C-alpha cells in the first residue's frame, strides 16, 4: 500500500510540475472567450449555444490533456530508466501498474472538477455535478486506454494515435451505426447487410462514450438513476478489461 501511495503521489506531483493546472486554466480562459464571442453573434438561443460550445471544448481539452500526460509520462520514465528502477522493487508488476493508474486517476478527477467549475456560471448545479462525474468516468477510460497503448506500443506518436482512434471511434460509433443501417434503396444489398453487422459487432466491443458527458444534461435533462448507474458500470467494466490487457502485456515484457 505504501508503494502505491508513493508512486501515485509522485505521479500527481509530476502533473503539478508539468503545469497541468496552468494549462487547464488557459483552456478555461480560451473556452470562455470563444463562448462569449459566440454569445454575442448568436441570434437566438444564445445561452444554449454558448453552453454547448463551452462544454464541448472543455471535454475535448480534458481528453487531450489526460491522454498526452499519461503517454508522455510513461515514455519519459521508460527513457530515464525510472520504470526499470520501480519494477526492480520487491513488489509485483501489477502493484506498479495499479499505482500508476491510481495516480493518473487522481489527476483525471482533479482535471474534471476544475474544468467543470466554469459551467456552473451557465448551468444548474445538478447538471454540472452529473456532467463532471461523467467526465471523470470518461477520463478514466481514456487514461486506461492510454496506459494500455503506451505499454504495448512504447512510442509517443503511435500510442497517441491509437488512443485517439479508439476515442474517436467510440464517440462516433452511434452515428456510424445509423449511417450503416440506412440505405438509399428500399432493399438492402448483401454488402449493406455485412457492413451493418460488422459495425454493430464493433459497437458491442467499444464503450458507449457518446452517451457520456452530454451537453443536454447541463440544460436540465439529467439522466435517470438507471442510466447513470449503467454508465458508471460501463466505465468500471472497461477500465478493468483494458487494465487487465495492459497488465498482461506488461507481464510478458522483459526489462
* pLDDT, tens digit (0-9, with 9 covering 90-100), for 77-95: 888 887 777 777 778 888 8
Domain that holds residue 205: 2-251
Helical residues (DSSP H) of 117-224, grouped into ranges: 125-153, 156-181, 190-205
The mean pLDDT value for 203-225 works out to 80
Judged against a pLDDT cut of 90, whether residue 255 lies above it is answered with: no
The mean pLDDT value for 58-85 works out to 87
What are the angstrom distances between the C-alpha of 55 and each of 16, 71, 117, 128, 132?
Answer: 24, 24, 11, 10, 10
Average pLDDT, the chain: 82
Judged against a pLDDT cut of 80, whether residue 116 lies above it is answered with: yes
Distance CA 242, CA 192 (A): 31
139-196: pLDDT as tens digits? 999 999 999 998 888 788 888 899 998 999 888 887 777 776 765 444 556 667 777 7
| 109 or 188, higher pLDDT | 109
Judged against a pLDDT cut of 80, whether residue 50 lies above it is answered with: no
pTM: 0.87
Number of domains observed in the structure of the chain: 1
Amino acid at each position: 500500500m505504501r508503494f502505491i501511495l508513493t508512486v501515485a503521489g509522485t505521479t500527481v506531483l509530476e502533473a503539478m510540475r508539468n503545469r497541468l493546472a496552468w494549462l487547464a486554466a488557459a483552456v478555461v480562459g480560451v473556452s470562455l472567450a470563444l463562448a462569449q464571442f459566440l454569445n454575442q453573434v448568436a441570434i437566438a438561443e444564445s445561452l444554449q449555444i454558448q453552453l454547448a460550445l463551452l462544454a464541448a471544448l472543455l471535454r475535448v481539452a480534458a481528453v487531450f490533456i489526460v491522454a498526452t500526460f499519461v503517454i508522455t509520462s510513461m515514455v519519459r520514465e521508460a527513457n530515464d530508466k525510472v520504470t526499470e528502477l520501480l519494477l526492480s522493487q520487491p513488489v509485483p508488476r501489477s502493484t506498479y501498474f495499479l499505482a500508476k493508474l491510481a495516480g493518473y486517476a487522481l489527476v483525471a478527477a482533479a482535471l474534471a472538477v476544475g474544468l467543470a467549475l466554469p459551467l456552473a456560471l451557465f448551468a444548474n448545479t445538478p447538471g454540472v455535478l452529473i456532467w463532471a462525474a461523467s467526465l471523470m468516468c470518461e477520463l478514466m477510460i481514456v487514461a486506461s486506454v492510454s496506459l494500455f497503448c503506451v505499454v504495448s506500443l512504447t512510442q509517443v506518436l503511435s500510442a497517441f494515435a491509437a488512443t485517439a482512434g479508439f476515442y474517436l471511434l467510440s464517440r462516433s460509433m452511434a452515428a456510424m451505426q445509423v449511417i450503416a443501417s440506412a440505405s438509399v434503396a428500399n432493399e438492402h444489398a448483401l454488402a449493406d447487410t455485412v457492413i451493418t453487422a460488422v459495425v454493430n459487432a464493433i459497437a458491442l466491443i467499444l464503450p458507449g462514450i457518446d452517451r457520456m458527458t452530454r451537453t443536454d444534461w447541463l440544460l436540465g435533462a439529467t439522466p435517470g438513476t438507471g442510466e447513470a448507474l449503467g454508465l458508471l458500470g460501463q466505465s468500471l467494466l472497461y477500465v478493468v478489461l483494458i487494465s487487465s490487457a495492459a497488465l498482461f502485456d506488461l507481464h510478458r515484457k522483459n526489462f
